[in-house]
Amino acid sequence: MTTCKTCCSSTPVPHFSKAGTPKGDSFIQQILALAARPDVISFGGGLPSPEGFPLAEVKAAADYVIDTDGKRALQYSSLKGDPALRAIIAERETARGCPTTADDVQIVSGSQQALDLMARLFIDPGSKILVESPTYLGALQAFMLCGPECVEIPTDAFGMNPDLMGEECRGARFAYVMPTFQNPTGLTISVERRKKLAEKAREYDFWLVEDNPYGELYYGDEPPASMRAFCPERTITLGTMSKVLAPGFRLGYIIAPKSVLDAAAEMKQAMDLHTATYTQLVTARVLSQGLFEEHLPKVRDIYRSQAKVMLDALDEYMPKHPEITWTRPEGGMFIWLTFPKGVDASEVMKKTLASDVPVGFVPGEAFYANNPKDHVNTCRFSFVTVPAEKIVAGVKSVAEALKTFL
C-alpha cells in the first residue's frame, strides 16, 4: 500500500482526479503568506474595506427577515433565486441602460461560483478561451480546472484592445473580460472599444463573459454601460454583492440569454441546489430599503480618497524613470505598476519585507495565463483596506527598495 506523506504514514494515498491533485504551495501562496505577517503593510488583498460595511442596515434587515419571514428564510428555496432579489437586480440593470427582467437573472453563491459555472458549461479539455492579459487570478484558477487553451487578448495602456483581435479568436468558447475597473489593472475600456469588442464577438463567433464586480465603485462619472448594452445576444454578465455589500454573504448573479441561464441553473443544481435563502432575503430587504442610494456614495468616497492618497504618494516617492509607470483608475480597488524590464517585482517585495517598513503586494506574474515569467516586472497594489498614513509609508518603502534595483 502506498501511504500518504502529507497527513500520516498509515493513510493510504487518495485516488485524486487530475484536476483535484494538489499542486502544492504555489509561489504566489508563499508570497501572500509572507505578506500576511501582522507587522506588514499589505497592499496585497483584494478585500473590500470593512469600513464600508453597512452593519446597522444589515442588522435591521436580518431582524426584519427573521421576525416577518423566519421560516421561509431558514428553508430550502428555489434554484433560480429569490424573486424579490432578482427583481431589484433587474431594475438596477435596466436603469443602467440594459433592459432586464427578473427572469433574466440567476442568483449564484458569489461570482466565483459563476466563474466555475462558466468553466464547466463551456470548457472541454483543450477548448480555446480568450482572456485579458493580465486577468483575474481567481478566474484563471476556475477555468484551469477544466483544461482550456488560453489565448491572451492584447492589452495596452487603455486596457484590452479589440483592434488587435484577429483570426486566433475564431472558435473560442468565450472571451472573459472585465471592461470596468479591471482586476488587476484598474483600467476601464472606452465605449468605442466596447463597440469594437461586440463586433469582434459577432465576427469571430465567440460569447462574452463580462465580469463586473467593481462597476458601482466609480469615483467620479459613471462608467460606460455593460457589454450587454452593446452585444445583448451573446453577453453573459456576472455581478456580485461582494464589493458593494458584504463578501461574506457569498451572493452573486448571472444575467444572460435564456439558453445560457437554463444550462447554468441545471449545472448549479448539481453543485449546491441553490444559494443560501437567508442571505438572499436579507439582501433583498436591505436593497429594497434604498441601501444602494444611501450606502454606495459613502463607499465610493472612501475608495476615491484612498486611491488619491496612493496615487499622490506614488507621484511623490517613486523613482522618476521612464519605465516606472502605474495606472490611474477612476474606480475600483487596484493600481497596476510596471517596473523596468529586468526588475523582478517579487525581489523588490522581498527587499521591502526585510526592511523597517515591510510591505506586501501581489507580483504581477500571477495574473497571466501564459508565460508569466515575461511579466515579473509588474505588480498589483490595493489601497482600500490600508489607512492613509500607512499607504504613504508603504509606498515610500517600496520606492526605496525599488531604487536599489535600478
Binder among 42, 77, 100, 112 for ligand PMP (CB under 6 A): 112
Between 111 and 155, name the residue whose CB sits nearer to ligand PMP. Answer: 111
Handedness of CA 314, 318, 322, 326 (dihedral sign): negative
In the 3-class helix/strand/coil scheme, how is 342-376 assigned residue by residue? CCCHHHHHHHHHCCCCCEECEEHHHHCCCCHHHHC
Distance of closest approach, residue 310 Cβ to ligand PMP, in angstroms: 18
Does position 382 interact with ligand PMP (CB under 6 A)? The reply is: no
- The contacts found for 51-54 with CB under 8 angstroms, 24 or more apart, are 51/302, 52/295, 52/298, 52/299, 52/302, 52/303, 53/245, 53/246, 54/245, 54/286, 54/291, 54/295
Q: Report how far apart, in Å, the C-alpha atoms of 313 and of each of 37, 363, 393 are.
A: 23, 20, 9
**Cβ proximity to ligand PMP, 110 vs 360, nearer residue:** 110
Options 48, 52, 81, 110; binder of ligand PMP; rule CB under 6 A: 110
Contact flags string 333-352 toward ligand PMP, x per CB under 6 A: --------------------
Nearer to ligand PMP, 138 or 147 (CB): 138
CB of 183 to ligand PMP, least distance (A): 4
Q: Which amino acid belongs to residue 139?
A: A
Stretch that binds ligand PMP, among 64-72, 110-118, 254-262, 366-374 (CB under 6 A): 110-118
Pairing state between β 334-338 and 325-326: antiparallel
Q: What residues pair up with 335 in beta bridges, in sequence order?
A: 381
Q: How many residues bind ligand PMP (CB under 6 A)?
A: 14
Q: Would you count residue 242 as binding ligand PMP (CB under 6 A)?
A: yes
Kindly state whether residue 378 participates in binding ligand PMP, applying the rule CB under 6 A: no
Q: State the Cα–Cα distance between residues 23 and 140, nearest whole angstrom.
A: 15
Using a 10 angstrom Cβ sphere, with 0-12 exposed, 13-18 middle and 19 or more buried, the burial of residue 78 is: middle
Is 240 a binder of ligand PMP (CB under 6 A)? yes
**Which range touches ligand PMP (CB under 6 A), out of 149-157, 240-248, 367-375, 380-388?**
240-248
Q: Give the CB-nearest residue to ligand PMP.
A: 110
The residue within the footprint of ligand PMP, chosen from 44, 46, 159, 224 (CB under 6 A), is 46
Footprint of ligand PMP on 252-311 (CB under 6 A): 252
Query: What are the Cα distances from residue 15, in Å, to 12, 283, 286?
Result: 9, 41, 45
Q: Which residues bind ligand PMP (CB under 6 A)?
A: 46, 110-112, 136, 138, 178, 183, 211, 213, 240, 242, 247, 252
